[in-house]
């Protein structure tokens, strides 16, 4: 299994280079657990296929709307040169009506047809916006009846931290998911605004400090899918990439067990090191995570209000429980 290949770092990203503040980071990394790392997926050519229902539906919507639009756009692309050429000045055979400037029929058409199309699209927008609301729970895939997998996501400069609250493990810049199981991401940021995108699995949502946004997705086939931050956040931005490894359920539980056994500890101290600005030299896994870490990260931005801290923290953890 590729994801158990251990030791291999992504060859293509020269992580850590050119970005300051990373030397201690890199050092820490060397001693950390290396379970579950794999190379950045590389492709020979452009392929835009979805590997999960959310991305598939979004892509399908894109294609449908584009085709529909072509009905009004292609005529323009064809008519413009044709009319211009047909009525060129030299072409004395074509009619010349310098005073002609109105036709009721045409008027109805040029307002009516686009209006009709927009009406059609509007219906789709209304229904699909709701259906594909990132906060909306999605069903498990065929043959999988497991409860959704919760993952808490923390956007950092310039890396992503994923906490599996029920498995009590965490990963940095790598996300391992069981195929067919619905995944419920809870996103926040411990720096500026970021945006998480895994193009082949689901569209993006912002992650913002002190707030929690949600995103549901599901991988329907095993594979390695690139993920990234798309909201500019400084000089390491372009290197803030990670890989989603979709594996079957058994492999997933084996992986969890392996990380639990071999991964390092993510406590407050270690978190502070991880959160420091920089691009990590390699992905990393943690076999043990402070239970309230995520809640504290969120609550931190409400720190000056004592009442708020506790409610935010409890809400952040509380929501996890509600989800089940």
Partner 1 sequence: MRIEVLAGPWLGRLSLSALPTDSPVAAGAALVAVLGALGVAGYITAKGRWGYLWREWFTSVDHKRIGIMYVVLALVMLARAVIEALVMRLQQADAINQSGFISAEHFGQLFSTHGSIMIFFMAMPFLTGVINYVMPLQIGARDVSFPVLNSISLMLTAAGAALVMISLVLAPFSTGGWSGYAPFTELRFSPGVGVDYWIWAVTLSSIGSTLTGINFAVTIYKKRAPGMHLFRMPLFCWTALCTSILMIFAMPALTVATALLALDRYLGMHFFTSGGGGNMMVYANLFWLFGHPEVYIVVLPSFGVFSELFSTFSAKKLYGYTSLVLATMTIAVLSFTVWLHHFFTMGQSAHINAAFGIATMLIGIPTGVKVYDWILTMFRGRVRFTTPLLWGLAFLVTFVIGGLSGILLAIPPVDFLVHNTTFLVAHFHNMLIPGTLFGMIAAYQFWFPKAFGFRLEERWGRVAFGCWVTGFYLAFMPLYVLGLEGMPRRSAEVFDEAFRPWLLLAAGGAVLIVLGMAALVLQLAMSIRHRDRNRVTVGDPWDGRSLEWSTSSPPPEYNFAEVPEVEGRDAFWTMKRSGRAYPALDRYAPILLPENSAIGPWLGVLGLATAFGLVWRIGWMAGLGTAGALFAVIGWSFVRRSGRTVGERQVERTETRWHAALVAAVPVSREHECDPRNRGLADVAA
Partner 2 sequence: MDGDGGFRRELRDYVVGLVLALGLSGAAFALVAWDPWPARTTLGVVAALAVLQLVAHFRCFLHIDLKQSHRDDLQLILFTAVIIGLMVAGSLWIIFNQNQRMM
Partner 3 sequence: MSVGSTTGKRRHPGLNLHESDAHPSDGEVMFGFWVFMMSDAVLFALLFAVYASLGVNTAGGPGPHDVFELGPAAMETLLLLLSSFTFGIASLAMKYRRGMALLQGMLALTLLLGLGFLGLEVHDFATLQGKGALPQVSAFLSAFYALVPTHFLHVSLGCVWIVVMMVQLRMSGLDRTTRTRLLRLGLFWHFLDIVWVMIFSFVFLRGML
Q: What is the Cα gyration radius of the chain?
A: 25
Which partner in partner 2, partner 3, ligand HEO, none is near 211 (CB below 5 to 8 A by kind)?
partner 2
Residue span binding partner 2 (CB under 8 A) among the ranges 112-120, 156-164, 209-217, 240-248 = 209-217
What are phi and psi for residue 225, nearest 5 degrees? -120, 130
Residue 307 interacting partner from partner 2, partner 3, ligand HEO, none (CB closer than 5 to 8 Å by kind): partner 3
Options 2, 211, 275, 323; binder of partner 2; rule CB under 8 A? 211
Cα dist from 124 to 69, 87, 128, 199, whole Å: 13, 40, 6, 22
Task: Kindly state the number of chain residues that form the binding site for ligand HEO, as judged by CB under 6 A.
Answer: 6
The partner in contact with residue 315, picked from partner 1, partner 3, partner 2, none with C-beta cut-offs of 5 to 8 angstroms by kind, is partner 2
Contact positions with partner 1 (CB under 8 A) in 254-313? 301, 303-305
Backbone φ, ψ for residue 165 (5° rounding): -65, -35
By the rule CB under 6 A, 62 interacts with ligand HEO: no
SS3 89: coil
CB 221 → partner 1: shortest distance, Å? 18
Q: Which of 76, 84, 106, 307 binds ligand HEO (CB under 6 A)?
A: 76
DSSP, collapsed to helix, strand or coil, labels residue 177 as: strand
CA–CA separation, 292 and 191 (whole Å)? 19
Question: Cβ closer to partner 3: 59 or 302?
Answer: 302
CA angle 258, 222, 259 (to 5 degrees): 10
Binding site for partner 3 (CB under 8 A): 302, 304-308
Q: Is the bond into 158 cis (omega within 30 degrees of 0)?
A: yes
Picked from partner 2, partner 3, ligand HEO, none, the partner binding residue 234 (CB below 5 to 8 A depending on kind) is none
Query: Helix or strand or coil: residue 25?
Result: helix
Residue with Cβ nearer partner 1 (271 or 286)? 271
Give the whole-angstrom CA distance, residue 93 versus residue 96. 9
Q: Is 213 in the site for partner 2 (CB under 8 A)?
A: yes
Q: Which is nearer to partner 1, 4 or 206 (CB)?
A: 206
Q: How many residues bind partner 2 (CB under 8 A)?
A: 7
CA separation (Å) from 259 to 69, 97, 167, 265? 49, 79, 10, 11
| Residue 235, token pair as written in the block | 């000089």
Q: How far is it, in rounded angstroms, from Cα 149 to Cα 274? A: 24
Q: Does 49 bind partner 1 (CB under 8 A)?
A: no
Q: Cβ 37 to partner 3, closest distance in Å?
A: 41
Nearer to ligand HEO, 118 or 268 (CB): 118
**Subset of residues 90 to 129 that bind ligand HEO, contact rule: CB under 6 A:** 114, 117-118
By CB under 8 A, what part of segment 124-163 binds partner 2? Answer: 135
Given a contact cutoff of 8 angstroms between Cβ atoms, the answer to whether 205 and 223 are in contact is: no
Cβ of 145: how many Cβ atoms within 10 Å? Answer: 10
Site of interaction with ligand HEO (CB under 6 A): 72-73, 76, 114, 117-118
């Amino acid at each position: 299994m590729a994801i158990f290949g251990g030791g291999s770092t992504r060859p293509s990203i020269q992580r850590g280079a050119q970005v300051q503040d990373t030397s201690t980071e890199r050092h820490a990394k060397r001693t950390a657990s290396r379970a579950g790392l794999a190379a950045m997926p590389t492709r020979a050519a452009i392929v835009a296929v979805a590997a999960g229902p959310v991305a598939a539906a979004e892509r399908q919507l894109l294609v449908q709307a584009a085709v529909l639009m072509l009905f009004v756009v292609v005529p323009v692309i064809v008519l413009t040169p044709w009319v211009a050429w047909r009525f060129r000045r030299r072409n004395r055979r074509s009619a010349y009506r310098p005073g002609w400037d109105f036709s009721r029929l045409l008027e109805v058409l040029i307002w009516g047809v686009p209006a009709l199309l927009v009406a059609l699209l509007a219906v789709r927008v209304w229904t699909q916006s709701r259906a594909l609301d990132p906060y909306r729970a999605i069903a498990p895939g065929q043959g999988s009846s497991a409860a959704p997998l919760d993952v808490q996501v923390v956007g950092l400069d310039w890396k992503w931290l994923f906490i599996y609250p029920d498995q009590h493990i965490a990963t940095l810049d790598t996300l391992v998911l069981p195929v067919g199981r619905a995944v419920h991401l809870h996103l926040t940021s411990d720096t500026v605004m970021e945006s998480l995108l895994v193009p082949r699995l689901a569209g993006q949502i912002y992650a913002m400090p002190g707030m929690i946004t949600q995103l549901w997705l599901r991988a329907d086939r095993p594979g390695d899918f690139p993920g990234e931050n798309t909201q500019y956040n400084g000089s390491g931005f372009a290197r803030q990439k990670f890989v989603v490894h979709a594996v079957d359920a058994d492999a997933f539980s084996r992986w969890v067990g392996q990380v639990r056994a071999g991964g390092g500890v993510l406590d407050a101290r270690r978190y502070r090191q991880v959160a420091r600005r920089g691009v990590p030299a390699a992905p990393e896994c943690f076999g043990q995570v402070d239970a309230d870490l995520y809640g504290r990260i969120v609550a931190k931005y409400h720190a000056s209000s004592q009442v708020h801290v506790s409610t935010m923290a409890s809400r952040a953890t509380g929501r996890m429980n509600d989800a089940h």
